[in-house]
Every structure is written in structure tokens, then in C-alpha cells.
Structure 1
Amino acid sequence: MVSRRAFLGTTGLAATGAVAASWFSPTAAPAAAGSGGLSWDRRRLLPRFATARRLQVGDIQHLTGDEQLLLGTLQGAVNRHRPELYFHYDDADKPWLSSIDVPQTVHEDPLELVAAYADRVAGAIVYDPEVRDSINVATTLAGLRGAVVASPELAAAYELPVVDDLRGRFTGQDKVDIYRWQLDELWPQCEHRLLTGLPPTRVVDVEGVTWREVAREAEQIRDESNRDHYTVDVSAELGGEAVYVKFSDGFGNDGWGASVASVSVLADGVEIAAFVPGSPEEEQVLVEGGNSSLGGDGNRFADGGNFFVYRLAPPEGTTTLEVTVDMWNQYVVSATDTAPTRVEPFPHFRDYVVATQAMVVWLDPNGEPGELLSEIFALSEPTTPYLGWFSNDVAGEWGGVDLAATQSVEVLPADFFANGTVLGGVPARISSRRRRAPRTELTDTVYVTMTVGEGDNLQYCQRHMRTLWDNPDRGAAPTNWTISPVLADAAPAIFRYYQETATENDLLVCGPSGAGYTYGGSWPQEDFDAYTDVTGRYLRETGLDLVYAYNNRDDDGWIPMPEWVIDSYRRNTQLGGIMQSWDGGGVIAAGDLPVIGHFNAPGQAVEFKQGLDDYIAQWDGTRPLFVSAGIFAWGWNPTDIAELHQLLAADDRYQVLLGHAFFDLLRRAPNPGPPPPPRPSGQG
């Protein structure tokens, strides 16, 4: 990610592969914005793109963010009319090329495509490097003007005509003012059938940085029992421009990483900094916090592979630097004297934004930014999808999805979804055939079904799910895999791939909470039928008849799905069962459309099995018991699932079933209990 490719001129396209590049001469004149190859059926959430006839392919994963931004917006401007450009943002983009049966030319230097396609765009929208949110405004403008987004340096290097220069346009850095201007000036011209949200910049790791571990909790602790004030000496990192201190998770598989409530810093015994998470004082030193979250107790925590970093700049000549932290749970603290990150434009998904002429924002769902975001949502028709994501990690997710739901908008996580302007035009025959459950006898057994989450997330379906799916142990255990039915629009070939390669032990089920991620209980009741109606259409098209769903939450956690939400699913879909995100298990509703809460346990297979044993400890074996086990997609893989299955199979109390068989028995059970336990609360 740190190399910069030199501008090589406007001729001499180098290529590898079966088709030489010398044939290639894109001479078609630019078409007017809004014309071209998109088609949009009024009953569909997303447009269909034209089918590619020939693709120019380039690996851009080692380019800078500015270069990727330029190529990604070029891709959107070109592919709007007919898909021609396909880029590898990382290795996950390569396998899907096999599903695109058209001639392909692979370019060793994809930056050559800028010059090759220069006459296919109106020119460049130059963003202001001093105002990061101007990258998003430039992206919106690029879609409207048929242009690309470029830094001042790249616009000059490629001699691109400047369509609009945003330098100095926004004198302040208040993002609410910036996006208010965009709403007032650009929204009337934008596509209103979808909304998008992308971070304007990203933090990129600098290669070659060496971290020294200075503190670690050796045990898996999740109950704050080790909370204390810990002092770490980072004097060994003195001598550079600053000292960087990182907090991360010592056990990345269970979600209880380093949690910090306060920090104080002493330089040669004199306090030079003291702050608590979320304060203005912390903001001055927090150089990487996007992968962490603020907890309800005023703490900052980072779980799994996430972390946060503070930059500490002691006075020149300091010989001793000590950091005292109010900290708990599974912490790892490390230090370095080298700036570990840099900030550059966030390039992903911008081809889709430009091609569809959508307006893109990046607004925290809380406070004044949240008020503006709510206003934007309110301008949209019910069931308008919001593609992208929200700031502030988990808190942003909960607040953002909830805010969208209150305005009858569902979310399609898509901020890392790549090449959507190509994949949305690849034809694929998706089977609408639903899988029938085998008719089995109901016995006094603990029935368990295991479901891998995250399937609402388009980029997960494109990226991480493919990695899990390719694990050789997939199929060894009955597993439900959540997937988005909206892939029927966004990437039908991806959906079809999973259908075609599923084993008898793989069952595709709908990801949260249907045709888009949402919290049903937060919708206006008069609009929720519109959501379940469109969900029903996509489920019938894709053959899915089970859904993993969320409901809304309050200060105490998730709320059980109310009857009016269940009734709406019952009226408008052919669902045979709902698994609600719950964390505590239990049957929330019985009958013809049962709802059961997910049971989750921390750790890997052995610890999960122990958690299940504890959960059923009061079961007397005189009636069937049902457990919907949630599998953490970012910490488990099919090998782990197979290990858990072996442990359960060795215990004659348990029987593991696929979801369709599980819910068939649950619908027939006279007393399926137990009811859900009191709502749990976590460190968030």
C-alpha cells in the first residue's frame, strides 16, 4: 500500500494474459451523465448494470489511496455505460473473475488505464487535501458530472481537465456544514432510490513498524475482575518525534479485549497528559481509534483484531516516560517510536456511488450530525436502501441502523464491496427452490442449529465468506450460512456460486433482517409491511425461507421481537422460522412462525460446549429443548464448527440439525421453551 506508480504517458499499454493490449482503443465519446447501461425495475432495491463484453483487469492493491481513488471513480464513470474495468483491491477479488465469462486483458500497470480512458470522462473533480470530507463531495460531483476524483497532484500529472476544484470551497472543517451544503446544492440532482455512506479517509498501517510489548493479561478475563491502575514504562521508545502506545485484545476470539477508563502520562515525574475516553483531551492524542468503541461506562475498548493507539509527545530531553492506565479484561499494551499509520483517501465502493449518481455522506448517527443524517433518511421513500456503513464502529452501527429504521430505511453494509459495477451486470440463474426439511420424529432431545452470522454484509459475502467457504472442513458439520438475498441485484453470480457449491450440510439462510439490515421494532408500524413485502419478494426469488433477524434495543440490550413485527413477517413472507440476535437463547414466539433467540458463548469449541452445558443444566430430559447457536464469523471457521459438532455428537443429550429441520421440529413441539432469559449487557 505504500508504493507510488510513476506516470508512464498516454501510450504503450502493457498487458499480460491471453489477449494483448494493443487491440485496445477506447475512443467512444463521453455520454451525458445519467445515460447508459443501468436499468432499474421499480420493484427492485438496486439497479442492474449492462453485461460486460470485454474487461480490462488491474491489480491495484499496492497503489496508494489517491491512486485507488482515481481508478475507482474512473471505473464508476466508465462502467455506468457498460462494464469495462475490473480491479483487484485485494486477493479476494480474483476468484470472482472466473464467474465473468468474457474476454479479459490483465494490465501490469493499471494506472495506464487513466490515460487510456481520459477521453471517456469529463475531467477531474479535485478534492481539498485540507478538508477530508471534500473527498465525499467530490465523489458525489463526479457521479453528476461524469468525472473522476483526483488529488491536485494526480490531476496535474495526468493533465486531466479540472471540472471543479474544491480547494478553499469549504473554509471550515465542520462536516455538518459541508454535508448541509451538499444536501442543499447537489441532492436535487442525485439519484434518490439509494443513499450511500463512506468514510472519506482511512488509516493505513505503515510497513516495518516494530512494537514492543509492555503489558499483557495472560488469562481470559471478561468480568472486570482484573480492573486496576497499571503503570507501564515506555522510556525505551524516547528519542523520536513521539511515543505511540497501542491497546489490543490478547484473545481475539471472544470479544472482551482491552478496556480503558482513564490515562495519565508522566514525563520525568511531571504529568503532561490526563484524559478519559471520549473527551476533547483524548481526541488530541488518539491517532487510531476507528476500530475501537466507547462503552457505556465511559471506557474505550477494542475486541478481536481491533486496537487503538495514543500518540504521546513528551518535552524534548525527557528521559523517563510512564503511562498509568485504569484498565481491565484481556489487554495487550505495546509501544513504538515510529508513527505506525498514515491517512489517505478511502477508495472502496466509489465506483458504485459514481455510476449510480448517488449522494455520499459520512455522518455520525448521534448529535447534530445524526440530525442531518435523519433529515436525509426522511427525504427518501420507505425501503430506500442505505449502502456503505457508519462511523464509530459498534456504537455507530447500532445508532446508525436504528436511526435508519426510524425513517423506514434499511442498511446494506457495502463499504468494502468491490467491482459492484461489473458484478451487478453478470447474469446468473438463481434457484428459487426451497429446501425441504426431512420429516423426523420429535424426541426429548436438545436440538441445536448452528448459524454463521454477517450475511447481510455484501462485502462479507464477497470476501470473508468466500474464505470460510473454501475451508476444506466445510460440510463436515450441519451449518446455516447467512447470506443477503439482495445479491440477486448486487452480484447474482456470487449468490449462485454459493447455491451451486453448497454441500448437504450447508444451508443458506437470510441474513439480518431480510432484504437489508434493520431493527424491526424501530420502524414506524405503518411502514414495516413495505419492508417485509420487499423481503418476501427477494426470499421467493432466492429460495430462502429462514431469517436471522435483529430487533431494536434499549439501554439494557436487545428487545424481544414484538408481535406486530412477527405478524408482518407472517403476512408478507413464507418464512418458516426467525433466529433473533439475542445472546441468551430461548423461544421468543411459538406457533407457525417461531422466533428463537440466538445463544452465544465466548471462546472456541471447548468453551462453547461448556457454555451450552451450563445453559441446559436445568433441563430434566422430559421434553425437547431448542438452542439456536450463533457462530462468530470473524473468529470461527469450518474447522472450529466441525470441532464443536464432534463434541456435541459425542454427548447423547444433543442433536445438531440444519435450520430447516430444526424449525420443522420447533413448530411441532407442544412446549418448546424455555423463554428467553433477562436481557444481557456487554462491555459496550
Structure 2
Amino acid sequence: MLKVTYKGFYHFLIALCLLPLCLGIAGFDCVLAVHAFARPEVDSGIRWPQNQALPTFARAQHLDVALVSNAPQDFILLLQTLQGIVNRQLPQIYVINGVPSEGQYTWLNDIHIPYQVYNDPWQVVNKYIRQVQGMVIFDPNVLDTINVATTFAGIHRGVVVSPELATRLSTAPYNLPLLADFRGRFANGLEANTWQYEHLWPQTTHRMLVGLQPAQSVMVPQNNWQSFRTILQESQPITDGLNRAIYTMDLSHELGGEAVYLRFADAFPQDGWGASVRRISVNADGKNIIQFVTCTQDEEQYIFDHGRSGCDMSGLDPHRFSDGMRYFVYRFVPPAGTRQLVVNAEMWNEFNVSASSVRPLASSDQLIPGSLSLREYAVANQAMVFWLETDNNAADSALFERILSDVQPGTPYLGWFDSEPAGVRLISRHGVYVVASDSFDNMSVFSGLQAPSYPIKPIATPKLGNNIYVTFTMSDGDNVQFNEHHMRYVWDQDPARGSVPINWSISPALLDIAPVMLNYYQRTATKNDLLVAGPSGLGYFNPSLWPQDNLNRFLNVSGRYLRRAGTNIVYAIDVGSTLPAYVAQAYYNQLNLNGLLLNWWNPQSSSTINNRLPISTQLDATSRDGIVAAIHQNAAHWDGKSPLFIAVSLLAWNQAPASDAAYIAQRLGSRYRIVRGDQYFQLMRKANGLPMYN
């Protein structure tokens, strides 16, 4: 008598239904019906208690380290999805892609887990490929299917492959079965994401969301802009829009080619306040031929290269901006025979405008398959992976809203957005916070390595006097990939660290994601290093947009994480320059804070007591000397009869931010006192008659 187990019958049905799918014809819905009937069995070493923000993996016993420098993206995608399947039960695969800023083996050597390095990463694939059930092919013509395939692979213990790798893996010695083939299934990314929301989302975890860009831009060559000549450039570091005007640019010199290309970039890329453009009009021989407002559909037809530029839609004055190394390029085709071409641009801040009649060699809008490190963690946790635009894309945003509406307040969104302001506002309104983590490496390994957490040792608060008290805070600590990479680099390599009091913002979510990393910073801090919670507590969100009826409950959870992380100061980012009273009250009631640092990129610092909570907004400027000038300007009207408090935000992505702090401190003079954040708020409490923090 033939004995058929339920599991065997299930896989028989899957194979029967997937056969026509793999042939690219009808039959897809049959697969969906089986999925709804029975979810594949999952052997997992993951623990995720209800009171824990993110899961804990098993502790690795030995690691096989795959070096993938310069490996093709489709291979990295294969390896990362394999890593997720294998590490779900017991972390065994560790991937090093290139040379991280902190060094290839820095964290690996710190964790004291035995490991073996493989210079040929195919050896790691060969060792573990038998642990998967099969492969899932993405569609190179619709790159969002990389995310759909990732979600499918996480559910069905598969690996995601390109059509080329599928050919290799379907033959000996691999002979991998085909679980699904998404080629030709969808016309565009929205259709693909809608399909996975309707059919795969019910089978995935709803305790986390994962947003990963499925593609990367082609490499723009260094000589891409060599034919461009500078038309107009701001010579001063202006960040407050005081130079806003309509600027007229004559591009007649660029006539004669197939089109005219106009590029907007940042005149001072080190500070991140590049060109901001509101509207464009183009006149040919005195006649208007083109007119549009930026960040609208009318603009899109003229953009040759978005250059990772952003749209600020936060107020009544939406505009496109190109900060740092970002830029954007328009392509204008004037009528034949045009003799004069004039462009009028309403713009401000640190613009650098150039033009050419020669078509650039490449556009960053040209996309190729890409894979980010967090993908393995998403696969291991059977999370749905998607990428939906939040900035000027109504259809994508609507689908994003549907997904957000399905999860409970307090759910983490791991990854990142196309636009930070728009993305954070969107998820905050639904009670979801973001953990910036798309390039965090080997999260499934680090989340299983437990380490004790303890507070930074307190130091004595100086006697309150009629001085100007200044505290420096490093930005971006909510970003756990920053905690893993660049923060470790500057922490270890900046010779000025420890010479000046600095507040280092860091993510309390490291308690779940990488306890050993939080422990490292706690153990190696000098007496001048203080760890504070990065925006805006457990994760990054805009507090005043969070559902008001859930804010106290969520901040209570944040409070538990802050206490375990040993910090009582939060650096928060909100949509306004001041916190609403009910938000300050919630922070005071639930987190028991010493004080709160608010926002960044403000022209000046101000300190208030909001519902018994000391709050200081942070100032910043475009350079070290600019910060010195801004501090002096803040103190210009100080009469010396009472203490003055000034909070300063420092850009943590600089190569030596502690050296920046030391440089600034040396130029402030004897009336200034540089203090740690805990001292700062204790002094502020005493100056305002509040109880000292215990």
C-alpha cells in the first residue's frame, strides 16, 4: 500500500500547480489556493516574545564567511536569500561584501565565534544549497519582482535567482527544483507589489515590515559631466533660503545639439544644503515653450536623471532639492532653428547649475538588479519585502497605506524610503517607526549574540554659574547600519574622541538587533562619551504625527528599551520646531527622561521646559566655522546675568566628527562650558527650579 504523508501530498500539489506557472501559462491561481490551504513547515531557531520589538536568533557556533567583493548582484541575491534560509534555524553563514568602513573582520573578531573564510563564495553556496526547497526566478524587466520573489522564497524555503543563474542551478550538480518563475507576470512594479500584498502578505509575519529597493543605479562614470559648463553658482554657504529668487540663465551657447541638458547640484556638498528649486520656465526666442512646478507630473517628462534628488512636500511650498552628492538633470528640446534659449528658475540655498548640449554617457535612472544586506534577515523572518515610493507617487503611497493599516501600532519598519521626510511622516501617522537598516550586514548572526547592557558611568555635574553651557550631539544614531559601520570607524579612529564631551546618538533597538555592538560602545566609552537614544526613542518617527490614543503606550515600550540601554536622554525629530504639550507630557510620563534634544538643522538653539520636561532644540550650520559663528550669534544678546544653554547637532557622517567638536570647542572662549548631555540637562533643571534627575 502506498503511504502518502500530508507534507508529501502538499508538495505534490505544489509541483502540479507550479508546472504551468514555470511554463509561463495559466495555473498561477492554483498555487495560491494551495498556499491559502497550508503554509509550508518552518524549522526555526528564532524566538520572538510578544513584549520584544524584534526577534532573537539562535547563537552561532561556527561561521562560514563568504567574501563577495565585486561579485555580480544576482549572485549576491542568491547568497543573501540562502543565508536567510540557513540562518533561520542556526546562523552559519556570514557575508562580507567589499571592505566595510570599520574593516572586514573587526566585528567578526570581536564576537569570538570560530569561523572559516571562503574567498570563493560559491563554496559556501555549494555547502548549504541542499537546505533549500528550490529556486524562484525574478523578472529582469520588472525589478520589483526581486522583492516579490524574496517574499515567496522566505515562505517556501527558496533562493532568489536571475534567469542566468537558474540555468546553472537547474542542472547537475545542483538540480534545484523551480518553485516559481515571475517572468512576464507583471507589467510594472505596482502590479507586482499589489499581487504580493493580496496573495503573499497573509502568509508572512505582520510583526515587521521590510522596505528594500530592489534595484541599484548603473555606475555613472566620472567623466559623465565633463562637457557641462557652470552657468550659475552660489558662492556663500546659505542654508536659510535668504537668496531665494528667480534666476535667469541664457543657454543659447548650448544650442545646436539634439537637446539641452541642465544640471542642478550642491555648491557645498559637504554640508547638505544644495539647490532647492520650486519652478522652471523655458523661453525659446522670447516665447514660453515649457513651464512646470517641480515635484509634479508636469515635471517628470523633462527629467533626464533624478540623481537621487528629493522632493520636500512637507509644507505649502513643495520643491525639489539636491543636497550633498545628489543632483538632477533636465532635458529640454527647443524648436528647430531656435537662436536664443533662456531658462528662469525659482531657486535658493547652495545651488550649482551647469549645462551642456552633449547627452551624458549615463543616467542614474538606469537601473540594474541590486540586493541589500537586510534581505537575508527578511527571508529568515518570513517578512514581506516591498519598495513603494512615498514622494509624489499617489498609487504607490495608497498601497503603502493599505499595508500600514494592516499592522498594529508599534510595528517596526526595517529598511528605508525613497524620501526620508515623506516616508517618516507616512508611517508615523499609522503608528509605525522605522529602523534604518537596509545595509546592515549579518543581522541574523548578530541578533543571536547576547551581551550585557549597562549605563555609561555618571560624572559629576559642575556647579551652576552664569556661563554658556554647550552640548554636542552626533546625528544619525537611529541608523543601525551607521552604528555597525561608520560609527565604529570614527569611534576607533578619530583621535579627538574623548577630548571633548560628546553625546553619541545610538539605537536602543540594538538590544534586539546586535547586543554586542551596544555593549562595545558602552564598554569602550571614555568619561566624555555619553550614549543617548537616537530619533525618536526606540526608533525613528515624528512624535506629533503618531496616533494620539497610542502614543503613551508606545512610549512606555520605548521607555523599557531606553532603561535597558542605560540612557535617559532622547534625541527626537518632529515636523515642527516645538513639541505639542501632549507629546512632551507623554515623553515625561512614560520615559522618565533627564531631557530631550529636538530636531537638527535649526539656525539657532532654544531651551524650554515643556510639562516639566527640559527640551533643547539643536542648532547646526554648514561647516565647523559656521557652527562656531552660529553659537556666537546665539549668545550675542546674552547679558551674563543667568546661564544660557545651547545644544549643537554635529553631522556624524563626517570623517572625524569628534575632531569637529574639538575644533569648535577650541574657538568658543572662556565664557563657554562644554558639557555632556546628562550634565547639560541637570544644569538646566537647576537653573529652572526643577528637581535634579535621579
The TM-score range, normalised by the shorter chain, is 0.7 to 0.9
CA distance in 1, matches of 2:129, 2:334: 49
The residue number in structure 2 matching 1:195 is 209
CA contact (8 A) 1:382 1:530 kept: no
TM-score of the aligned structures, taking structure 2 as reference length: 0.83
CA contact (8 A) 1:586 1:596 kept: yes
- The match for 2:580 among 537, 562, 579 is 562
For residues 603-642 of structure 1, what are the structure 2 equivalents within 5 Å? 603-635=622-654, 637-642=657-662
The answer on 1:70 being equivalent to 2:78 is yes
The answer on 1:660 being equivalent to 2:684 is no
CA-to-partner distance for each residue in 1:453-482, whole Å, 9 max, x for gaps? 111111111122223222122222111000
| Shift in Å, 1:642 | 1.0
The residue number in structure 1 matching 2:469 is 447
- Counterpart residue identity of residue 235, structure 2: A
For residues 208-219 of structure 1, what are the structure 2 equivalents within 5 Å? 209-212=223-226, 213-215=228-230, 216-219=233-236
CA-to-partner distance for each residue in 1:388-419, whole Å, 9 max, x for gaps? 1122x2xxx22322222222222111122121
| Shift in Å, 1:290 | 5.7
CA distance in 2, matches of 1:63, 1:422: 22
SS in structure 1 at match of 2:52: coil
Task: State, as a whole percentage, how many aligned pairs show the same letter.
Answer: 38
CA contact (8 A) 2:246 2:344 kept: no
The residue number in structure 2 matching 1:83 is 91
SS in structure 2 at match of 1:450: strand
For residues 534-553 of structure 1, what are the structure 2 equivalents within 5 Å? 534-551=557-574, 553=575
The residue number in structure 1 matching 2:59 is 51
SS in structure 1 at match of 2:616: strand
| Shift in Å, 1:249 | 0.9
CA distance in 2, matches of 1:291, 1:614: 34
The residue number in structure 1 matching 2:181 is 165
| Shift in Å, 1:424 | 1.2
| Shift in Å, 1:144 | 0.5
The answer on 1:145 being equivalent to 2:156 is yes
CA contact (8 A) 1:598 1:628 kept: yes
The answer on 1:376 being equivalent to 2:403 is yes
The answer on 1:438 being equivalent to 2:460 is yes
The answer on 1:645 being equivalent to 2:659 is no
Change (3 A) 1:236 1:100: farther
CA contact (8 A) 1:79 1:85 kept: yes
| Shift in Å, 1:278 | 2.6
Tell me how many residue pairs correspond in the alignment: 624
Q: Higher mean Cα deviation, 464-473 or 451-460? A: 464-473
The residue number in structure 2 matching 1:115 is 126
- Counterpart residue identity of residue 453, structure 1: S
CA-to-partner distance for each residue in 1:414-452, whole Å, 9 max, x for gaps? 122121111112232222x35324132111111111101
SS in structure 2 at match of 1:411: strand
- Counterpart residue identity of residue 448, structure 1: V
Return 5+ residue gaps in structure 1 as ranges.
1-30, 673-684
- Counterpart residue identity of residue 625, structure 2: V
The answer on 1:344 being equivalent to 2:360 is no
- The match for 1:462 among 484, 491, 494 is 484
CA RMSD of aligned residues (A): 3.0
| Shift in Å, 1:305 | 2.3
CA contact (8 A) 1:115 1:158 kept: no
| Shift in Å, 1:225 | 5.0
CA contact (8 A) 2:250 2:340 kept: no
The residue number in structure 2 matching 1:681 is none
The answer on 1:364 being equivalent to 2:364 is no
The residue number in structure 1 matching 2:33 is none
- Counterpart residue identity of residue 574, structure 1: N
The residue number in structure 2 matching 1:292 is 309
SS in structure 1 at match of 2:613: coil
- Counterpart residue identity of residue 136, structure 2: I
The residue number in structure 2 matching 1:248 is 265
Return 5+ residue gaps in structure 2 as ranges.
1-38, 171-175
For residues 35-46 of structure 1, what are the structure 2 equivalents within 5 Å? 35-46=43-54
CA-to-partner distance for each residue in 1:237-278, whole Å, 9 max, x for gaps? 969xx8865432121233321233455779999999765533
- Counterpart residue identity of residue 136, structure 1: N
CA distance in 2, matches of 1:321, 1:132: 41
Q: Higher mean Cα deviation, 136-145 or 205-214? A: 205-214
Change (3 A) 1:618 1:574: same
The residue number in structure 1 matching 2:349 is 329
CA contact (8 A) 2:216 2:368 kept: yes
Q: Higher mean Cα deviation, 445-454 or 246-255? A: 246-255
Change (3 A) 1:139 1:210: same
- Counterpart residue identity of residue 250, structure 1: A
- The match for 2:494 among 460, 468, 471 is 471
The answer on 1:587 being equivalent to 2:595 is no
The residue number in structure 1 matching 2:590 is 572
Change (3 A) 1:312 1:164: farther
For residues 360-439 of structure 1, what are the structure 2 equivalents within 5 Å? 360-365=385-390, 367-391=394-418, 393=419, 397-431=420-454, 433-439=455-461
CA-to-partner distance for each residue in 1:538-565, whole Å, 9 max, x for gaps? 11211111110123x2xxxx15222322
| Shift in Å, 1:321 | 11
SS in structure 2 at match of 1:427: coil
CA-to-partner distance for each residue in 1:339-383, whole Å, 9 max, x for gaps? 154412231111111011011222233634323322222221221
The residue number in structure 2 matching 1:131 is 142
The answer on 1:354 being equivalent to 2:379 is yes
Change (3 A) 1:314 1:75: farther
CA distance in 2, matches of 1:47, 1:323: 58
| Shift in Å, 1:632 | 2.0
| Shift in Å, 1:313 | 7.7
CA distance in 2, matches of 1:283, 1:166: 29
Change (3 A) 1:477 1:144: same
CA distance in 2, matches of 1:498, 1:246: 42
CA distance in 2, matches of 1:105, 1:313: 58
The residue number in structure 2 matching 1:14 is none
CA distance in 1, matches of 2:92, 2:334: 53
CA contact (8 A) 1:190 1:358 kept: yes
The residue number in structure 2 matching 1:12 is none
The answer on 1:483 being equivalent to 2:502 is no
CA contact (8 A) 2:581 2:610 kept: no
Q: Higher mean Cα deviation, 374-383 or 200-209? A: 200-209
CA contact (8 A) 1:561 1:588 kept: no
